[in-house]
Amino acid sequence: MSELEDLSPDPKIRCTEYRIGCIGAGFIMADVQLAAYRRAGFPVIGISSRSEAHATQVAARWDIPRVHRTPGELIEDPEIQIIDIAFPPDQQPELIRLALRQPHVLGILAQKPLAMGFATARALAEEVCQSDKVLSVNQNMRFDQSMRVLKQLLMRGDLGKPVIGTIEMRAVPHWQPFLAQYDRLTLLNMSVHHLDVLRFLFGEPIDIFTASRPDPRTKFAHRDGICVSTLRFENGTLAVSLEDVWSGPREEGFESDIYIRWRVEGTEGLATGTIGWPDYPAGSPSTLKFNSRKTTGGKWVQPIWETRWFPDAFAGVMDQLQYAIKSGTTPELSMSDNLRTMALVEAAYRSLEESRAVRLEELFANP
For residue 337, the model assigns a pLDDT of: 97
| Rounded-to-integer distance, Cα 42 and Cα 337, Å | 25
Q: What is the pLDDT of residues 290-334, one digit of tens each?
A: 999 999 999 999 999 999 999 999 999 999 999 999 999 999 999
Q: 142 pLDDT band (50/70/90 cuts)?
A: very high
Burial of 186 (0-12, 13-18, 19+ CB in 10 A): buried
Please give the model's pTM, rounded to 2 decimal places: 0.96
For residue 8, the model assigns a pLDDT of: 97
For residue 253, the model assigns a pLDDT of: 77
* Percentage of the chain modeled with pLDDT above 70: 99
For residue 278, the model assigns a pLDDT of: 85
Please provide the average confidence, as pLDDT, over all residues in the chain. 95
For residues 317-354, b (16+ Cβ closer than 10 Å) or e, as one string? bbbbbbbbbeeeeebbbbbebbbbbbbbbbbbbbbbee
For residue 245, the model assigns a pLDDT of: 87
- DSSP assignment of 258-276 equals -EEEEEEEESSEEEEEE-S
What's the average model confidence in pLDDT over 95-111? 98
Query: Taking the mean position of all CA atoms in its chain, how far away is CA 194?
Result: 8
Cβ neighbors of 340 (< 8 A, separation 6 or more) are 199, 204, 360
Q: 180 pLDDT band (50/70/90 cuts)?
A: confident
What's the average model confidence in pLDDT over 158-168? 98
Residue type at 14? R
What's the average model confidence in pLDDT over 26-30? 95
Q: If phi over 0 gives left and psi between -120 and 50 gives alpha, with beta otherwise, what is residue 233?
A: beta
Q: What is the pLDDT of residues 45-76, one digit of tens each?
A: 999 999 999 999 999 999 999 999 999 999 99
pLDDT at 367 over 70: no
For residue 176, the model assigns a pLDDT of: 77
Q: What domains sit in the chain, N to C, each tagged with a CATH number?
A: 13-140+315-335 (3.40.50.720), 145-304+342-353 (3.30.360.10)
Cβ neighbors of 220 (< 8 A, separation 6 or more) are 180
Q: What is the pLDDT of residues 329-350, one digit of tens each?
A: 999 999 999 999 999 999 999 9
Q: 35 pLDDT band (50/70/90 cuts)?
A: very high
Helix (H, G, I), strand (E, B) or coil at 226: strand
Name beta bridge partners: 128: none
DSSP state of 301: B
User: Are residues 55 and 47 in contact, defined by beta-carbon separation less than 8 angstroms?
Assistant: yes
Q: 1 pLDDT band (50/70/90 cuts)?
A: low
Q: 256 pLDDT band (50/70/90 cuts)?
A: confident
Residue type at 70? T
The larger pLDDT score, comparing residue 299 to residue 279, is at 299
